[in-house]
Structure 1
Amino acid sequence: MWDTEDVVHAWNRAGNPTPHHLLGLYAQALTTERPVGAYHTLREDQEDRAILALYRVDRPHATFADLYQAPPLALSSYHQLLHDLAREGLGPLESHSGPAVGGLR
């Protein structure tokens, strides 16, 4: 499994322009919710949980309902973070949390 610093390095290698300190917060949020390891296609509920974990860095009290009401463009940077990890062959693994509710699309 990859730790927070490994995830930040992967984002840097992928060319993500987000400042290092923010990448660290996003990586911590993502790795706290679930381990990060070898890439695999995410189910919709897994992607929702990963996006919510990242979204909560900027909006700590956000819920799934908040995500579903957010315009797609408002979530694009979080989707880009997951895409950048995937380009480096990484991604969130099975969530340690309970079942997800709904989808973002």
Structure 2
Amino acid sequence: PQPPPPPPVGEGGRSASPIAPQPGRADLLASIRGQSVTSLRKTGGPQSTPSPPPAPAAEESGAGGAGGNLTAALAAALLERNKRLGDSDEEEEDDDWD
């Protein structure tokens, strides 16, 4: 396999830039920067629609007794994991640094 060819050389012996600047783009950016805050128009505030009250969690649902709530299921799984891990990690760390 041969190496890729060098980039094309432009005028003056300099390499051509991969992306040529577009004059319309620079004009647009300049017009945006030239606007002042006072030229902005106000919009209506956030539309406040009353959110429905949270549904009561079922006692024994399909999420393993976690009430069918994803947050509760994750919390229960983390608690179970922490119980299994216990403090064994902290005891082992002291021996590694001696």
Do both proteins adopt the same fold according to a TM-score greater than 0.5, normalized to the shorter chain? no
> What TM-score range do you get, normalising by the shorter chain?
under 0.3
Q: TM-score, normalised by structure 2?
A: 0.21
Higher strand share: 1
